[in-house]
Amino acid sequence: MAGNTQQLDGQPLIRIESVSRRYLRGVDDVHALEHVSLSIHAGRFVAFMGPSGSGKSTLMNLVSGIDRPSEGEVVVAGQSLGELDEDELAEWRAHHVGLIFQFFNLIPVLNALDNVALPLLLTDLSKAERVRRAETALRVVGLDERVGHYPRTLSGGEQQRVAIARAIVTDPDLIVADAPTGDLDARNAEAILELLRKLKNDFGKTIVMVTHDPRALRFVDQAFHLDKGLLLEGADADRADRAVQLAAGGGLISSLADVADQVRRSS
C-alpha cells in the first residue's frame, strides 16, 4: 500500500483557502464555516475538534468532497474539487478518499471479507484480486482470522477495524474519519487511535479525523480547533489545546475514581 499520492513537491496534500459554508434554514442564514484557511501535508494525522455545532462535520465533508463550499477553494492532492462536476467528484472520492464512521456502517448480511471488498466492486479488478486485496487490508488491521465473521458476531472494536480495512482497501491518499472512537469503550478507542497512527507511520496515509475524544491529542500530529464556524489560531488555539488536555486528564482521574469505587464496593 504505497499510496496513490502524486509528487506534490512539498505542497500540502490538502489546501483550504478562505472557505465559507452557509446554509439557509427557514429565513435564517446559518454560517457553518466562515473564511477558514488551513493546510495539511501528506502523511499527517490531524484532528478537527470543537464544541457541537462548531463546523467540524461541515469542514470534514468539504475536505472529502461530500459537500461544496459557498465560497473559497478546496484542493486535495493537486485537484481543485470545485472544478469537478457531480459524477467526476464521486469518481474522485472513490479513488482518493477512504471514509470511516462513528457507527461503522457495515452491511449486516455481508461477512468481514465481503464488507471490505465492497468498494472494489467499482473497479475492474478480477474477483480473485478483490479477495486478495480485502484479505491484505484485514491483515493490516489485525483481523485476518475473522474474514468469514458477520458484523453481529464481532465486537464494536472489531467492527471498526473491519470498517478501517474497507477504508484502506482502495489505497486512498486520504482517510477521513468521523468520530471513529465515539461508540467505543476506552480500551477499544485507544486501540483504534493506535491503528490509525500505524496507518500513518507504516503506510504514509494522511488522516483527518473529527473527534470529541480528548485522548486523540496523544495520537495526532496536530489538532485544528473550531468554534462557531471559525478556525481558532494563535493564543486561542493554544488555549483550546490546553482545555482538551485538561479534559483528557479529567477523564483519567474519573476512570481512576471508578476503579477505586469498584474496589471499595467489592471489599
Site of interaction with ligand ADP (CB under 6 A): 23, 25, 30, 32, 50, 52-58
CB of 183 to ligand ADP, least distance (A): 16
Of the pair 59, 162, the CB lying nearest ligand ADP is at: 59
CB of 81 to ligand ADP, least distance (A): 17
Q: Report d(CA 69, CA 15) in Å as an integer.
A: 13
Give every CB contact of residue 216 below 8 A, 6+ residues apart in sequence: 47, 49, 181, 193, 209, 223
Q: How much is the CA Rg of the chain, to the nearest whole Å?
A: 19
Single-letter residue type at 8: L
Grid coordinates belonging to 3: 499510496
Of the pair 23, 103, the CB lying nearest ligand ADP is at: 23
Of the pair 55, 151, the CB lying nearest ligand ADP is at: 55
Of the pair 30, 246, the CB lying nearest ligand ADP is at: 30
Q: Report d(CA 39, CA 109) in Å as an integer.
A: 40
CB of 208 to ligand ADP, least distance (A): 13
Write down the H helix ranges in 77-232. 86-96, 112-117, 127-140, 156-168, 186-203
CB of 25 to ligand ADP, least distance (A): 5
Of the pair 25, 187, the CB lying nearest ligand ADP is at: 25
Q: Report d(CA 223, CA 126) in Å as an integer.
A: 40
CB of 251 to ligand ADP, least distance (A): 20
Grid coordinates belonging to 246: 485538561
Quick check: 73 and 17 in contact, CB under 8 A?
yes
CA 243 to chain centroid, in Å, comes to: 22
Of the pair 78, 182, the CB lying nearest ligand ADP is at: 182
Of the pair 56, 161, the CB lying nearest ligand ADP is at: 56
Grid coordinates belonging to 55: 463546523
Residue with cell 464481532: 154
